[in-house]
Amino acid sequence: MDRYAPPTETERRTSSTYRVRFDEAGPDGIARASAYLRYAQDLAWLHSERRGFGRSWYQDRGLAWVVRAVDLLIETPLPTGAALMATTEVIGGRRVMARRRCDLRAEADGSLIATVVTDWVMTTTAGVPTRVPDAFPIAFGVPLGSFDPIRVDPGEPPAGASRRSFDVRLHELDPMGHVNNAVYVDWLDEAVHLVDPVVIRVVPRRYRLEYRAAAAPGAGLVGQAWPDGVGWSYRLEDGDGRLCLGGRLEGRSDG
């Protein structure tokens, strides 16, 4: 395949089936929010490989994609063992960014389970943002143009905010040596769960996260969550007070 050839209508998107594993679900047997991000991330890589941009292509050029922000809308609870069909497509491009949408549907009837919109940033292996290669807009059929990047400003936590201090653990790192983007959703849920254990299971619910700075391996972190009238705001800082993540969970429990 000529990787510089424009995609056919079929090649513009790619799909794969997934099954909710036992370890991806919580005590209630329902998939954690982080599982949806893992499916979307895996499928993004599959699409890249199918268009001729495998991991060795990136390694040879000293390039990498890093998640900058996520907008996750969960419509339906997903029980352990459930089968789903995920479909991804690049829907926007900027000079150093690309936006993907991933729809997850029940394999049995095609009903929508969740939607994941992800803003990715092209970086060097040293973590410096760099221009998206000319091959990408052609290969994925998305010309470089403007879209508004996802922004999340959590503000300052009020007195009495739910506060949790913890260290980055080895199993939370991915092959790039970074805390995987899905892990941050688990951290947000854990902070909210301390006060309202119901809201992290209600549907529909929506997560919006902006990754500001990478949490270093073994770093000490402080996560704070508080209700903001619509849902919950979340602020994650490292030991130096640097903002690592701004997040919001929109959803309300009956309590």
- State both tokens at 112: 């929508």
Residue with tokens 């500001």: 212
Q: Give 159's contacts (C-beta < 8 A, 6+ positions apart).
A: none
Q: In what order do the strands lie in the sheet with 231-238?
A: 13-19, 83-93, 97-106, 112-124, 63-74, 205-211, 243-250, 231-238, 220-227, 162-167
Q: For the chain, 255 residues long, give each residue's pLDDT as a single digit of tens.
A: 444 688 988 899 999 999 999 999 999 999 999 999 999 999 999 999 999 999 999 999 999 999 999 999 999 999 999 999 999 999 999 999 999 999 999 999 999 999 999 999 999 988 899 999 999 999 999 988 889 999 999 999 999 999 999 999 999 998 888 899 999 999 999 999 999 999 999 999 999 999 999 998 999 999 999 999 889 999 999 999 999 999 999 986 654
Q: What's the CATH code, domain 162-250?
A: 3.10.129.10
13-139 falls under which CATH superfamily? Hotdog Thioesterase (3.10.129.10)
Q: Is the pTM of this model over 0.85?
A: yes
Ranges in the chain annotated CATH 3.10.129.10: 13-139, 162-250
- For residue 9, the tally of other CB atoms under 10 A from its CB is 7
Which of these, 13, 15, 35, lies nearest to 24 by C-alpha position?
35
